[in-house]
Amino acid sequence: MAPAARLDDAYRYCEDLVRDHDRDRWLADRLLADDRRRHALAIHAFSYEAGRVRETVRDAMPGEIRLQWWVDAIEGEARGDVAGHPVAAALIDTIRRFSLRRSGFVNLLEARRFDLYDDAMPTLNDLEGYAGETASVLFLEVAQVLCDGADPRAADAAGHAGVAYALTGLMRSLPIHARRNQVYLPADLLGKAGLDPDDVRHGRKAEQLAGVLADLRRQAADHLDRALAALTGTDPRAKPAFLPLAFVRPYLDALAKTPPYGPVAELANWRKPLILWKFGRRL
Domain that holds residue 207: 119-283
In this predicted model, what pLDDT tens digit does every residue of 25-35 receive, in sequence order? 999 999 999 99
Phi, psi of 264 (to 5 degrees): -65, 130
Q: Identify the domain boundary among 95, 117, 139.
A: 117
Phi, psi torsion values for 69, nearest 5 degrees: -60, -45
pLDDT at 78: 62
- Among 117, 135, 155, the domain boundary falls at 117
DSSP state of 136: I
> Do residue 188 and residue 84 come from a single domain?
no
CA distance linking residue 93 with residue 203, whole number of Å: 44
pLDDT for residue 80: 62
pLDDT of residue 148: 83
Peptide bond into 236 cis (omega under 30): no
Q: What is the pLDDT of residue 153?
A: 83
Q: Which of 131, 126, 185, 141 is nearest to 161 (CA)?
A: 131
Angle, helices 3-21 vs 34-51, to 10°: value is 60
Shared domain for 159 and 280, answered yes or no, is yes
CA distance 250 to 235: 26
Query: What is the crossing angle of helices 124-131 and 152-172, to 10°?
Result: 110
70/102 Cα distance (integer angstroms): 11
Task: Give the mean pLDDT of the chain.
Answer: 95
Do 41 and 142 lie in one domain? The reply is no
- Residue 276, helix vs strand vs coil: helix
End-to-end CA distance of the chain: 42
pLDDT in tens, 164-205: 999 999 999 999 999 999 999 999 999 999 999 999 999 999
Assess contact for 67 and 113: CB atoms under 8 A.
yes
Tell me what pLDDT residue 150 has: 75
* Shared domain check, 263 and 194: yes
SS3 for 283? coil
- For 256, other C-beta atoms within 10 Å of its C-beta total 12
State which of 117, 140, 157 marks the end of a domain: 117
Beta bridge partners of 219: none
pLDDT at 279 (0 to 100): 97
Q: Are residues 68 and 49 in the same domain?
A: yes
Distance CA 249, CA 167 (A): 12
Give CA–CA dist 267/58, Å, rounded.
Answer: 32
Total number of domains constituting the chain:
2
3 state SS of 120: strand
Predicted confidence (pLDDT) at residue 5 exceeds the cutoff of 90 = no
Q: Note whether 167 and 260 are same-domain residues.
A: yes
- CATH number for the domain including 185? 1.10.600.10
Res 118 pLDDT > 70: yes
Same domain, 106 and 28: yes
Q: Amino acid identity of 247?
A: F
Q: Which long-range contacts (CB under 8 A, 24 or more apart) does 14-17 make?
A: 14/38, 14/41, 14/42, 14/44, 14/45, 14/86, 14/87, 14/90, 15/41, 15/45, 17/45, 17/48, 17/49, 17/87
Of 85-99, 116-130, 145-159, the one with minimum mean pLDDT is 145-159
Is 103 found in the same domain as 123?
Answer: no
Q: pTM here?
A: 0.96
Residues 98 and 123 in one domain: no
Residue 1 has what pLDDT? 45
> 260 with 273, same domain?
yes
Q: What integer pLDDT is reported at residue 225 of this predicted model?
A: 98
Per-residue model confidence (pLDDT) at position 26 = 98
Q: Please determine, for residue 79, whether its predicted confidence score (pLDDT) is greater than 90.
A: no
